[in-house]
Amino acid sequence: MTIASEKRLSPGGTPPTATEIRAQLDRIRSSAEFDAPERARNFLAYVIEETIAGRADRIKAYSIATEVFGRDASFDAQMDPVVRIEAGRVRRALERYYLVAGQADQLVITIPKGGYVPAFAWRTQATAEVSAPSQSQIPRHLFRRGWSSWTWLGAAALTLIAGLAFSMLELGKMVGGEGQPTIPRLLVMPFEDLSGTPQSKMITRGFADEVIGKVAKFREIVVLTDASSAQPGSGRDNPPLYALQGSVRLEGGRFRLGVRVVRSDDGSVLWANTYDENLDPLTILDLQANAAAAIATAIAQPYGIIFQADASHVSQTVPNDWNAYACTLAYYGYRAELNPQAHSTVESCLERTTEQFPKYATAWALLALTYIDQLRFRYGSDRSSPHALDLAMNAARRAVELDPQNVRGLQAEMLARYFRGEVETALAVGKRALSINPNDTELSAEYGFRLALSGQWNAGCELISCPTERWVTD
C-alpha cells in the first residue's frame, strides 16, 4: 500500500509505502536520540497511522486530544494548548533525530507547521528541510529572505569597497580617529493599546520594554526610545532611519501583537508580522519575552531585516559616513558566499576601518573573524602560519576590551582560543556570550558546533538544530 495523498516521490518515482513508513517510525521511536515523552511518541504514531489509513483530513486538535491524550468531549483547543505543545515537542524531537542518529535515513518524516498531518519524503526531496541550520538561520515564519539575497547584495557592497579607501581617509579628518562610525539607529515607538483596558495597558507597556531590552543586546545597531529624535528639525545629525511600531489587542481571552518596521523618512513598511495566543495570566511574562525575542532576532541580528535593507541602500548610494558600516555589510555578504577574493577585499576594508575608528568594537570583532577564516578556509599566502591566529586573538581581545558585552567580539575570541587549543576557555567564553544574547542565532550555531565537536554532543546539537520556537504558528 502506498500513501496516495503524498506527492513526494523517490528518485524512481515511487512514494513511500505504509510498510516503509511504519518501519521508519519504529526506527525513530527506538532511537535514544528521539528525545520525546511517551505521549509525544503516541501523538506521532497516531497521526502517522491516521494518514496511512487515509484519514488525514480528520487529524485535528480535537481528535488528537480526545483519542491520544484522553480529553473528554468538552475539550476546547482555544483554552487547552496541550496539542500545540506536544506538536512542538515532536517537531523538535524529529529535527534532533535526523541531525544526529538519522543522518543516513532515506525516509524523512516531518510534521509541517500549520497543522498536524505528517509528511513523508525520500532523502533527496527532504534534505533542505531537515539539514542543520546555517549560522545565520532566522525563524522562517519571521523572515523568509535568506542567503540568496545576501549573495547579490553582498557582491554589490563589495564592488563599492575598493573605492572607499580614499574617502575613508578624508572622513577621518572630519570626525577624528577616536570617533564612532555611523551605524543603523532604530527608534522603538511606544506600543499602541487597541483595547483600552487596565490589563491591556499593562501588557502593552511590558511588550515595548521587553523588545527594547532584547534589541539593545545586538551591538550592530543603536536603539533609541525618544520619538522626538525622528522628527524633522530635531537637531540630530543622525536621526534614526528605522522605527519599530507595535500594537496590542485583547479580545475574548486572546491577544494579538502586531509589529512592523518602517523607514522614518518615507513611512514605507519593510517588515510586518502578527502574534496570536491565548491569554493566560500565568504565562504573560513568558509570552512577552518570547515574542520580544522573536522580534529582536528578526530585525536586529546579522542577515536580519535592517541589515538587508541597508545592504540594498549601500548598493545604490553610500554617503561618506556610511563607509565603515559598508564594510560590516560587505563582511556578511562575503560570509554568504565564502570566496578568497571577497575575503581579501573585506579584510582590507575592515583593517582600514579599525585604523580610522579604533574604538569601533564590532569592526575589530569582524576583522578577527576574517583572520580566523584565513586558517580554517586556507585563504592568503600565510594560511599555514600561526600569524593569522595571533592577529585574530589580538583583534578579538581589542573588541572585548572596548565593549565587554559585544557578542561578536566574544564569538571571535571563542573561535581564536578554540583554534589555539584552549578548548575549555573557548567554551567558557562562548557560554558567556550566549548568556548575554541568547537570541543571536549566528552565535548559538557557532557555539553549539564547538560544543558538539568538544564532546558535549547533545548540548551542542540542541543549540544548532533546535533554536527556540519564539513565534508559534501551529
Nearest to 440 by CA among 334, 306, 293: 293
pLDDT at 66: 92
In this prediction, residue 413 carries a pLDDT of 96
- Is 325 buried (19+), middle (13-18) or exposed (0-12) by CB count in 10 A? buried
- Please state, in angstroms and rounded to a whole number, the distance separating the CA atoms of residues 137 and 237: 34
What is the structure's pLDDT at 253?
A: 75
d(CA 467, CA 474): 16
pTM flag (> 0.95): no
Using DSSP's 3-state secondary structure scheme, residue 357 falls into coil
pLDDT (tens place) for every residue of the chain, 474 residues total: 444 334 444 445 588 899 999 999 999 999 988 888 888 899 999 999 999 999 998 999 999 999 998 888 888 877 777 888 888 888 888 988 887 788 889 999 999 877 899 999 887 544 433 333 333 333 333 333 333 443 434 444 444 444 443 333 333 333 333 456 677 788 888 889 898 888 788 778 777 788 888 888 887 778 887 665 545 444 455 667 788 888 988 887 787 888 888 887 778 888 888 877 777 655 677 777 778 888 888 887 776 777 666 555 544 444 444 466 777 777 877 776 777 888 888 888 899 888 888 888 888 999 999 999 888 877 765 544 568 889 999 999 999 999 898 999 999 999 999 988 899 999 999 999 999 988 888 888 889 989 988 888 888 888 876 544 433 333
DSSP at 51: H
Residue 338, burial from CB neighbour count under 10 angstroms (0-12, 13-18, 19+): exposed
User: d(Cα 287, Cα 5) in Å, to the nearest integer?
Assistant: 37
User: Rounded to whole angstroms, how far apart are CA atoms 395 and 401?
Assistant: 10
Report how far residue 131's alpha carbon sits from residue 92's, in angstroms, rounded to the nearest whole number. 13
Contact yes or no for 94/36 (Cβ under 8 A): no
**pLDDT at position 80, please?**
78
* Closest by CA position to 427, among listed 464, 455, 393: 455
CA distance 442 to 449: 11
Instruction: Kindly report each contact of residues 191-195 with a partner whose C-beta sits within 8 Å and lies 24 or more positions away, as own/partner.
Output: 191/245, 191/246, 191/247, 191/248, 192/245, 192/246, 192/247, 192/248, 193/247, 193/248, 194/247, 194/248, 194/249, 195/248, 195/249, 195/250, 195/251
In order of 108, 179, 301, the CA distances from 353 in angstroms are 47, 11, 21
Q: What is 399-416 written as a DSSP string? A: HHHH-TT-HHHHHHHHHH
CA dihedral sign of residues 18, 23, 27, 30: positive
The whole-number pLDDT of residue 369 equals 94
Q: In whole angstroms, give the CA distance from residue 47 to residue 63.
A: 10
Report d(CA 107, CA 94) in Å as an integer: 12
The pLDDT, as a whole number, for residue 459 is: 86
Return the SS3 of 192.
strand
Q: Hey, what's the cell of 4? A: 496516495
Give, in order, the Cα–Cα distances in Å from 350 to each of 4, 85, 158, 161, 196.
Answer: 56, 45, 12, 10, 50
Given this model, what pLDDT does residue 47 score? 94
> Rounded to an integer, what distance in angstroms lies between the CA atom of residue 423 and that of residue 451?
9
Residues in the chain: 474
Cell 576594508 sits on residue: 349
